[in-house]
Amino acid sequence: MSAESPKTEITEFTNPNLEILYTVDEIKDRIREIGQQITNDHRGRDLVLVGVLKGSCVFLADLMREIDLQLTIDFMSVSSYKDGTVSTGDVEILKDLSNPIRGKDVIVVEDIVDTGLTLSRLLEILSSRGARSIKLASFLDKPEPRVKTQLKIDYTGFVVPNKFLVGYGLDAAGRYRNLPFIAAVRDPSAA
């Protein structure tokens, strides 16, 4: 028998630089609850889910399958964090909606609300377009750095500590969106 123990390969998902905060199962259970809430609140409405690219793509994909209603989806892309971790407050529309939202009940779907600058600006822009209602669903709510304190989040997955989080759509300079869990990066300078 060899004295060498089998080496456990470190992969993207088992990276020891990641501290898991919410597991796959916890996320699944919570999203089921939010989906049921949204279903109950929007019966008989003309519902549109607007995903804010790119971070919301995983949340949106899971959430919409827990909403047992007739609905459509659309996407917007805005720039906020430019490959860094500090919010600039500047919001530029990189991709606008494909369809009008006039008369519709809109839920803007975000990955995380941090300072709230991005969402406040985005909601301002959307509110001039004649929607019947506009609500906000954010998978994560990080209230500590909030600048736009009046911003109301109608549906939240988890309220999180003031740490830089990745996974489940959230990235650090483009990386980690594919992690199936939410993690904090222990050492942001380490690869």
Residues with a catalytic annotation lie at: 114
Does residue 55 interact with Mg ion by CB under 5 A?
Answer: yes
Q: Does 51 bind Mg ion (CB under 5 A)?
A: no
The entry of ligand IMP, Mg ion, none that residue 114 binds, CB within 5 to 8 Å by partner kind: ligand IMP
What's the min distance (Å) between Cβ of 68 and ligand IMP? 27
Partner in contact with 106, chosen from Mg ion, ligand IMP, none, beta carbon below 5 to 8 Å by kind: none
Q: Is the peptide bond before 54 cis (omega within 30 degrees of 0)?
A: yes
Residue 173 CA: distances (Å) to CA of 109, 162, 166: 21, 18, 10
Residue whose CB is less far from ligand IMP, 45 or 146: 146
Q: Is 167 in the site for Mg ion (CB under 5 A)?
A: no
Q: DSSP characters for 14-82? A: T-TTEEEEE-HHHHHHHHHHHHHHHHHHTTTS-EEEEEEETTTHHHHHHHHTT--S-EEEEEEEEE-S-
The residues binding ligand IMP (CB under 6 A) are: 55, 80-81, 87, 110-119, 164-166, 170-171
CA 38 to CA 121: how far, in whole Å? Answer: 23
51 binds, among ligand IMP, Mg ion, none (CB under 5 to 8 A by kind): none
Tokens of 2: 């060899």
Residues in contact with Mg ion by the rule CB under 5 A: 55
